[in-house]
Chains A and B, each alone.
Chain A
């Protein structure tokens, strides 16, 4: 599951990180991956538990789920861009 590190920045709701992290980390040796797809655009709403993006690490596709319901506030790592495992891929703003 995605880590729920929360940051408040004065806006309504809380900013919640969508991180490239999860149980699957145990099964991979690589430290780098890429974002394959985002399933919402910035400003659009997502439900808690929805697959918010798909990443690829060592040829294995992994779904990253929304930790909370809210809106997709910011996409940090765009489609086809690389990240290090543990990185913040984007931010949700909770309802």
Chain B
């Protein structure tokens, strides 16, 4: 991990790193509080608030009714009053219940007020598949939130990044969608791959938004990805290295703002681009990244491929879910295609 400090002995899972930064900010600022379903006694279905109730009590770690429109909208209102709420959607798939509060209030109130109102809200949500939870509980929806102007969109892939990005999210004066992948959290009942658990300093630190991280340097091809697929791309890069292909893996870390410069710099070096995403293929992240590179430096781009969920809802049964969610083999195949020029 390029940013992680080798002198740090303690390693954390992504969920523990997130919780550590939230706790830090809550101690430092009375105006920070957390609302969501099952975030108090349960500690978050995906461990996003584990242990916080004990330290901060029910006034600041609030279980809420199953009323996403009401509590996400209330978080918008409290943020506009200057508080710094963190509100959790248990599954990002549930955003539809409260889409107006997200798309028409949270995202737009700053603009519509001519900048006279701001909404310092962090909206956290669990994203992603790989455990057969089917079409209503497995989406990432990265592109959906990055699409509407006015939302910053954060997708951590390691514990180190999760902590620094969360500190930055809570301190940011704008709305931030903080989308954490269930498979990366390090939950006992959903084992994470190797990789998201990293050394994490105990002190607070921020990772600025819009700074993509080169998780692996390489000369032959640029693989741009985020979330769970950072780790799948790194696995693919290892296999490819054995066959003499040297892949660079870029972890976007934030979609909005998007660090186009780091991507362009890499593509100018490699000439080849593979974009990997766990969201739907059409009208989404892969198309946007490729368009940004084409806009920025079309001449640098010799070959391009995208790897994403084909345009189907996430199916339930394992053979079908495995088919549609890209794995390391799919990434390898696409890299080989751009390298061989097929």
Hey, which bits of chain A sit against chain B, CB under 8 A?
34, 36-41, 44-46, 50, 54, 56, 59, 61, 80
Contact = CB atoms under 8 A, between A and B. Distances in A.
B191 interface: yes
B11 A46 contact: no
A20 to B, nearest CB: 14
User: Which of A39, A41, A56 has the most chain B CB atoms closer than 10 A to its own CB?
Assistant: A39
B12 interface: yes
Main secondary structure of the interface of B (DSSP, over half): loop
Interface of B: 9-13, 186, 188-189, 191, 197
Contacts of A54: 13, 188
Nearest to B43: A61
B83 to A, nearest CB: 31
A50 B191 CA distance: 22
B186 A37 contact: yes
A36 B189 CA distance: 9
B150 to A, nearest CB: 37
**In the complex, the 8 A-B pairs of residues with the closest C-beta atoms, listed nearest first:** A44-B9, A56-B188, A36-B188, A45-B9, A61-B188, A39-B11, A40-B9, A37-B13
Contacts of A61: 188
Nearest to A35: B188
User: Which of A34, A36, A37, A61 has the most chain B CB atoms closer than 10 A to its own CB?
Assistant: A37
Main secondary structure of the interface of A (DSSP, over half): strand
24 contacts: A34-B188, A36-B186, A36-B188, A37-B13, A37-B186, A37-B197, A38-B11, A39-B10, A39-B11, A39-B12, A40-B9, A40-B10, A40-B11, A41-B9, A44-B9, A44-B10, A45-B9, A46-B10, A50-B10, A54-B188, A56-B189, A59-B188, A59-B189, A80-B191
A36 B11 CA distance: 13
A45 to B, nearest CB: 5
A95 B216 CA distance: 36
Given A41-B11, A56-B188, A59-B188, 17 more contacts: A34-B188, A36-B186, A36-B188, A37-B186, A39-B10, A39-B11, A39-B12, A40-B10, A40-B11, A41-B9, A45-B9, A46-B9, A50-B10, A54-B13, A56-B189, A59-B189, A61-B188
